[in-house]
Amino acid sequence: MNAIEFDRLRARLAHPGSLVTDPKRFEPYTHDATEFRRPPAAVLLAEDKADVIETVRFCREASIPITPRGTGTGLSGGCVPSEGALVVSTEPMDSLKIRAAERLAVCGPGVITKTLQDEAARYGLTYPPDPASYAECTLAGNVAEGAGGLRCKRFGVTKDYILGLEAVTADGLLLKTGCLNDYRGFSIGDLLVASEGTLAIVTSIVVRLTDLPGVGHTILAAFDDPGHAARTVAAITGSGMIPTVLEYVDGETVELANRYEKTEGLDRAEAVILVETSDRDPDVQAAEVDRICREHSCSYLRTASDVRDAEKLWQIRRNVSKAITDAAGARVSEDVAVPNSGFPALVEFVAAMNRAEPFKICCFGHAGDGNLHVNLLAEEAGEEALERLEPAVERLMEKTLELGGTLSGEHGIGLAKRKYLAREFDAATLGAMLAIKETLDPGDLFNPEKLFDRTP
């Protein structure tokens, strides 16, 4: 884009000041939370849907691709600018209306997930999906990537709470789907969830709220062997109970987290699991978890005495992300997920890979959902360092698919995993996806290069 084009677009906007064309202001829009970096052609800090529509129409006429984004907490490169792309950030569109009597909220795309949860809590309601970045990430980002979170096995993921979406199509038209717990015709809204900004730009989101879950018991158990911990997870998920949260943290991660902030009793743990039982018969469930942990030779076991004590047990889990980031120059953060019964095999595969590779691999994740965040750490920063980790990533992907799993539980495919997408799906399914992309965005206007690897 050149100065003349900038001026032509600016002239069409209701908020001309929202178009950022000074490269000195581009840095925050060059990346997400991965190592991928690319400068945008310009950035629209969209104030309203009318400006999004005008920008889409302009870009379509001028053949300039668009990459939509929120606060950039993503972990797959999904909102890193496509080559030559104008970035449309919907972060400023953060209006929020709770309609408590309808158990729903009408949210601007830029609403922060935690803000929605806090506001809903004032009415005794909640929005259950809780990605780790919930205090910073936007709802439209959650929708784009199909975000999950700690409580997803019990309460479901983003798509389970989206009632309706308003979005701008590649034709520059406003599309509006759903408003109730029902869709008619084809579920265009469900199709947009997890489409990673490749089909439309979301301008409004109606989410279903539900009542606040009751509090269960929190239990921490440490093990001398990651295999014992993983089999404990499988025994709990196979036991008939569905904990509200069931997290796994491996020994490498525990060590990093202990360096960051020391947690009592975990000095030499080779793996830790953290459980919050559901609020249905919590005493019975806690006793059952306790029994299963002992049966699997746990080396340390503690049930929180109350909510404040539970907070202390969660400390290690909360420190995980910062501890890993501090420890590495660069990291690849994979979020493979497998059926529950395959979880021990996945954990043991990663432990063996860690022993064999020259770089450190540490992992943690929403074990109750079969989701394992595998972090491969490089000492230096940058995209090149990541390339050296790629053969290990590929083996991880192959193992995951062999176990009947998925490349990404919640981070999305983006740039990071697009070369593996065709391995997860058969030709008919992938063909249907590509046909839909071609139909709804024939000019490849929205977020080209992402999700699908279409290099010949």
Among 1, 96, 242, 301, binds a second copy (CB under 8 A): 242
Decide: helix, strand or coil at residue 353.
Answer: helix
Among 45, 199, 275, 328, binds a second copy (CB under 8 A): 199
| Residue closest to 112 by CA, chosen among 78, 90, 93, 139 | 139
Determine the size of the site formed for a second copy (CB under 8 A).
89
214 binds a second copy (CB under 8 A): yes
CB nearer to a second copy: give 104 or 386. Answer: 104
CB nearer to a second copy: give 95 or 341. Answer: 341
Interacting span for a second copy (CB under 8 A) from 29-37, 43-51, 180-188, 217-225: 180-188
Among 177, 204, 263, 319, binds a second copy (CB under 8 A): 177
Interacting span for a second copy (CB under 8 A) from 110-118, 259-267, 391-399, 400-408: 400-408
- Axis crossing angle, helix 226-237 with helix 282-295, rounded to the nearest 10: 140
Q: Please state the closest distance from residue 291 (CB atom) to a second copy, in A.
A: 17
Find the binding residues for a second copy in span 15-74 (CB under 8 A).
none
For residue 176 the two structure tokens come to 């509006």
Interacting span for a second copy (CB under 8 A) from 29-37, 54-62, 220-228, 276-284: 276-284
Q: Please state the closest distance from residue 406 (CB atom) to a second copy, in A.
A: 5
Alpha helix ranges (H) inside 188-306: 188-192, 226-237, 251-260, 282-295
DSSP string, 294-333: HHTT-SEEEE-SSHHHHHHHHHHHHHHHHHHHHH-SEEEE
Distance of alpha carbon 259 from alpha carbon 261, whole angstroms? 6
Find the binding residues for a second copy in span 294-313 (CB under 8 A).
none
DSSP state of 20: E
353 binds a second copy (CB under 8 A): no
83 binds a second copy (CB under 8 A): no
Q: Please state the closest distance from residue 135 (CB atom) to a second copy, in A.
A: 23
Distance of alpha carbon 337 from alpha carbon 367, whole angstroms? 9
CB nearer to a second copy: give 171 or 357. Answer: 171
Q: Please state the closest distance from residue 16 (CB atom) to a second copy, in A.
A: 26
| β strands within 48-179, DSSP E | 66-69, 86-89, 96-99, 104-107, 125-126, 162-168, 174-177
Interacting span for a second copy (CB under 8 A) from 110-118, 148-156, 372-380, 384-392: 148-156
Distance of alpha carbon 162 from alpha carbon 104, whole angstroms? 10
225 binds a second copy (CB under 8 A): no
Other CB atoms within 10 A of residue 58 CB: 21
Q: Please state the closest distance from residue 133 (CB atom) to a second copy, in A.
A: 17
Among 121, 430, 444, 453, binds a second copy (CB under 8 A): 430
Find the binding residues for a second copy in span 325-344 (CB under 8 A).
337-341
Contact 83/65 with Cβ under 8 angstroms?
yes
CB nearer to a second copy: give 21 or 55. Answer: 55
Q: Dihedral sign, CA of 76, 157, 239, 222?
A: positive
Among 142, 218, 278, 333, binds a second copy (CB under 8 A): 278
Contact 6/33 with Cβ under 8 angstroms?
no
440 binds a second copy (CB under 8 A): yes
291 binds a second copy (CB under 8 A): no
Parallel, antiparallel, or unpaired: how do β-strands 245-250 and 330-337 relate? unpaired
Interacting span for a second copy (CB under 8 A) from 7-15, 26-34, 79-87, 422-430: 422-430
CB nearer to a second copy: give 78 or 226. Answer: 78
Contact 107/124 with Cβ under 8 angstroms?
no
Q: Please state the closest distance from residue 187 (CB atom) to a second copy, in A.
A: 5
Among 50, 121, 191, 345, binds a second copy (CB under 8 A): 191
Q: Please state the closest distance from residue 27 (CB atom) to a second copy, in A.
A: 30
Among 180, 284, 352, 381, binds a second copy (CB under 8 A): 180
Distance of alpha carbon 8 from alpha carbon 60, whole angstroms? 13
Distance of alpha carbon 233 from alpha carbon 272, whole angstroms? 10
Q: Please state the closest distance from residue 363 (CB atom) to a second copy, in A.
A: 18
CB nearer to a second copy: give 252 or 369. Answer: 369
The upper half-sphere exposure of residue 125, i.e. CA atoms within 13 Å in the direction of its Cβ, equals 19
CA terminus-to-terminus distance, the chain:
27
> From the centroid of its chain, how far is CA 280?
28
Among 12, 15, 60, 103, binds a second copy (CB under 8 A): 103
**What are the C-alpha distances in Å from 102 to residues 16, 68, 164, 206, 319?**
37, 30, 13, 11, 37
182 binds a second copy (CB under 8 A): yes
